[in-house]
Structure 1
Amino acid sequence: MSKPAFSRAEPDARRQSLIEATARVLARDGATGASVRAIALEAGVSPGLVGHYFAGIDGLVAETYAAVGQQVHVALAAAVAAAGDDPRDRVAAYVTASFAPPIADRALFATWIAFWSLSAKPIIAARHDALYQSYRDDLEALLAACGLPAADRRLVAIAITALVDGLWLELCLSPGNFTPGEARVLAERQLESYFDRSAKSSR
């Protein structure tokens, strides 16, 4: 008996399969390869299902960004939980988790670059802003536990997020020339400088 052209599944499973297929297509083919047809073929479903479950291709990419961002959030939270109770150790764990698997991953890197390249589209830009705001909120809470003054937390969180993105990009682009250990050292030095300045200003 021949295999049907498209598989049948429950609505939630179909939706999730499209999100997972989108992440794979973005990782493999980049933003320019993320067409409705390519994603439907990857998921083994009819192209018409993309419009049924999402607001077109941009809506699907935005939801995929949210799903992949949540996977990163889970990895960061796990790193913080494993760091113990010391507030500074918890901040360091949150920051340096990006330099090890599953975040320091070539497929995730390719997918994330595709998200960024599509961020001129309003629905994807909105998802990006919400996602990065959630990361900064987490950082601000961790920094508050370290005693960083409220007036400093927002800008420090922005600076740390930019630092992590830059080191993560370099690590993924040039893994032979730049090591995870070096990325951790650089990030931890920068964190210490923020804590030192905060301590001096509070005297």
Structure 2
Amino acid sequence: MSAQPAFTRADPDERRQSLIEATARVLGEKGAAGISVRAICAEAGVSPGLLRHYFAGVSDAIAEAYRWTGQRIGEALDAAVAEAGTDPRARILAYLTASFRPPIATPDLLASYIAFWSLTRSDPAVAAVRAEVYGDYRVRLEALLAQWRPDLADPPLTAIALTALIDGLWLELSLGDAPFTAAQASALAERWLDSLCG
């Protein structure tokens, strides 16, 4: 991927965002082993000293890239739910099945996530963002479940069970050549939802 043009008079927020996005791209292309101040700044088209102006170090930039990636996924999920209309069950299904198509089910996003996951055991800042991103996903899913089935006995446990299925299907679809289609994954998610909720 070609480097972005250098920022000479860009807004500080734009420069910081450029570095966040460059960090995510480098992680996706080179993995955790290939990440460095030099690699991030070369991808962003800026001098290496600029990263330390906006972040405490590479770990901080990675954590922010993870948070930004999680926000992008959240926006795609919210858009899917909004498109589903007002029926509570349709809204849950939209939330679950949005993970089976772009922009969520893509090899690029998977590559970035593999790098993020590989750092969660060794980098507390990245681990904290992982907990934040997954916690947000489950809280939103629990809210959708409560709207559909306010009588549900254990919404948190149901959300965990649904998330586990969605993650596995998303992983296979994102890797490519999955032994099932996105439509079949959606059908499995619907069956699992109905099985868990009675």
TM over 0.5: yes
Report the residue type matching 2:7 in the other structure. S
> Structure 2: any 5+ residue segments left out of the alignment?
none
> Structure 1: any 5+ residue segments left out of the alignment?
197-203
In the other structure, the counterpart of 2:169 is: 167
Asked if the contact 2:152–2:197 (Cα under 8 Å) also holds between the matched residues in 1, the reply is no
Report the residue type matching 1:65 in the other structure. Y
**Which aligned runs of 4 or more in structure 1 are off by greater than 3 angstroms?**
148-151
The alignment's C-alpha RMSD in Å is: 1.4
Change beyond 3 A, Cα 1:185–1:150: closer
TM-score with structure 1 setting the length: 0.90
User: How many pairs does the alignment contain?
Assistant: 192
In the other structure, the counterpart of 1:180 is: 182
Q: Give the secondary structure class of the aligned counterpart of 2:149.
A: coil
Query: In the alignment, is residue 91 of structure 1 matched against residue 92 of structure 2?
Result: yes
* Aligned-residue identity in percent: 57
1:92-111 equivalences under 5 Å are: 92-111=93-112
TM-score with structure 2 setting the length: 0.92
Report the residue type matching 1:91 in the other structure. I
In the other structure, the counterpart of 1:37 is: 38
In the other structure, the counterpart of 1:65 is: 66
**Residue deviations 1:84-137 (CA, integer Å, cap 9, x gap):** 111111100000000011111111111111111111210000011011111111
- Structure 2 distance, partners of 1:172, 1:70, is 19
- Structure 2 distance, partners of 1:111, 1:58, is 15
Query: In the alignment, is residue 193 of structure 1 matched against residue 195 of structure 2?
Result: yes
Change beyond 3 A, Cα 1:145–1:6: closer
In the other structure, the counterpart of 1:153 is: 155
Q: Displacement of 1:150 after TM fit?
A: 5.7
Q: Which moved more, 1:102-111 or 1:149-158?
A: 149-158
